[in-house]
Structure 1
């Protein structure tokens, strides 16, 4: 039994491994997929993304990832750097804090990507995890230099981002204290010692780029001849669009620059006296009209201007309105109608009140008969219609014909009699003679008879065309 216990202890000692070590480093900018950036915070300001990692067991390859993000996550994706991802929208504990087994010790650039309820944009963060056991480190080796650049061609001034893709991962040799170093030569007489530099080429030419990397184990240089091709800057070509291009005032229009040739400045003229110098402005048109818009773009290579005539059409609210002249006169009467509607109508319907119609914007119409006429105008466009009506707006006169009635026509004195004008031809004046020596000049008078008798009544009517008289003998009998 004693020997069995000693045997089991020996087996445990021989088969056990040292405790795992998981070391986390910030990932250099530009490394990883997508390229690493600074820690990203959502634009709404209430969410951010972060994580850490710890050893999950004595096996150094088994690592526990811990999500430290702030915000209500709706999507999570892990890229472990060894070709295996994990993603989902069901935010379970195993998705937020996964345990992952890596194939071997080494360094891995891990990317965590999320979306959250604060905003729809994706957030991502990179970290580099180095996995070792207690007795060994990641093997330190001499570097093998590799790099890329984007873009590799374009017009001056051309800004180029360079990305170090060398192996192994940058480190500091604990035995010597020597760290990895970089020296870039951009081919235009300038240099950089950062790992992921950006450089601007100000002049045209073909540039040879080289990168030398050193660490405690050695150095290596990579050179690419004529890697960056920079052309002379050409003048831009002005192009733009707008939305919407028509509508009712006030109208907000968004203008979008679509110019080619890398313009450095923009000057907009909106056609209403206003200007803007931003690339993609929004402009408010407050009055109806057709506006010509122009855009001038410039860079060090020259300038270009494009103008669009009547490009923006702004309408007032569609409201029918009109005037006419004359509003009265003798038959036959020619009347000129003038449309004064707002809102840019595209169709007109006139009703002249005598059974006639017109569909032109400002017609002339002849009234051949005396009378009072009600006029209406309906205007239309693709947004709707509107109607205005003017009752008894036109008076056409002819020589009048006198006519009248009376009520009552008999009764005891004193007798009040109401007289009603029924004349035609649009008289302009009235003269009544009641047969008892009294007169009146109103259109529809009331007269009191105080004595018994039989009374003859006459009415004389007049207008610009002439006069007429109507006489009714013994029209009123008073007892």
Structure 2
């Protein structure tokens, strides 16, 4: 008797690396409908690039943007074989028929007092209604309102004219004291904890796959500090001559839209050593390292090199001014680059509304 043994084999691709991909369509109401075309993935995380928008875990989500513009949609596809992320630009615009008013305004705050300067085209609108989000309303064209308490409020602005009306819903932040958390690097009793306010751990974790294994966060140093009576300062080391490829300062700051701010800080770095510090203001919170240095996400930037310092290694006061536009939360992000093995120090960060 002859027995035949048949052996069948197939390749197990259950742990194949995921490949993130998607397509989308938009309509005249700023609605984006997404079709997920990823493979080898079981979970999906969507960041739509809009201020305050939540992360979606739907497979093929639909998202409505609150304002016109170009945004970045980031998809992280997760499978047994790892994580893959892609970013695509999407441009949305609400098409409003001619003659329908488009509500616009500029906000100017002084502590808890807020002046809403109406920028709506008066040829289209003749009636205005404001709901300040704290139970108070106004029918003035450009009202001034004083809030009782600091905080974030949802302002609803309605502009009406002969051909119809439109509504703008905006998030406004007012405060008695505007500050950068741990601006003096002395708020925490434990030295290494002084950098907590200047970290985004989610960004740091994802950055390992982009820049290589690193600590990313700044050091807390007591050997060089600017604050009178203080103990610590931030220390960013060289990017390219150590085992740590990049370090940075990251902090989310709550702001009001349509406003101007200035951040002031003190910096100390060795002159004539190829030192350069880069400060960027990003339009919104981000966790994806692919957003770093993306010009569309940056609303202001400044480079501080030998030309903006002094001829000796001493503390120099520096500033960066920015307009928030539609942003109600921005990111202050600072990193450095060196052609030589040097370090830089930073202290006494403050922010004021202009």
Shorter-chain TM-score above 0.5: no
Bigger proportion of residues as helix: 2
TM-score (norm 1): 0.23
Rg larger in structure: 1
Q: Relative contact order: is structure 1 or structure 2 higher (C-alpha 8 Å, sep ≥ 6)?
A: 2
TM-score (norm 2): 0.29
Bigger proportion of residues as strand: 1
